[in-house]
Structure 1
């Protein structure tokens, strides 16, 4: 988060946290106006340099995995650098895709 304050970024990015693991719901992707989501076989990540801080994705996530970096609880702050690193190496996800077979069980495990 500090890097966005010190580098003069115009906005604060959103972050996908560990709630996305074993889910990979892609509802959030369909709400993103700038295609900032990237994904691997397990989960999604947000490219902090592309995210425009519109917040459209937050309510679309059925497992509450997405936070504005300013609202990110301290124990989850590790996800700021993970999103930045992983999104740089993964393809952009622009369209809704099939969720993982473990998604419903994971959502129930998280209490949603």
Structure 2
């Protein structure tokens, strides 16, 4: 069972998950993070600490969220790995709980990722 980041992370990007990942499986985009399914060891720590419940086990994803399985895998190939929590967007709190945020996803990598 793999874990995925869903649209609840878009424009929130709190990155608490980065701090607990033992395999550094996260990759950073400008306003979203993804999990690399090839390096994730399925420990579930990231799911436990996500303040927006954006991380789910692939098997628990809703039909609408299944698009994020492929999206996480694809973007992890081109976005930089992130090993430290970065700067949270200034308006992140305003985006918690907002539905249908996929249209706001920026496909550019986070060039400041560490």
So what's the TM-score if we normalise by structure 1? 0.84
Per the alignment, residue 42 of structure 1 pairs with 31
Q: Which residue of 1 aligns with 2:74?
A: 85
Please tell me whether Structure 1 or Structure 2 has the larger radius of gyration of its CA atoms: 1
Displacement of 1:109 after TM fit?
3.9
- The answer for the alignment partner of 1:20 in structure 2 is 9
How many residue pairs get matched?
Answer: 99
Q: Matches of 1:108 and 1:19 in 2, distance apart?
A: 7
Q: Does 1:96 align with 2:85?
A: yes
Structure 1's unaligned 5+ residue stretches are: 1-11
Show the counterpart of 1:107.
96
Q: Are residue 71 (structure 1) and residue 71 (structure 2) matched?
A: no
C-alpha RMSD of matched pairs (Å): 1.1
Instruction: Give the TM-score normalised by the residue count of structure 2.
Output: 0.83
Runs (4+) off by over 3 Å: none
> Distance in 1 between the 2:63 and 2:29 partners?
25
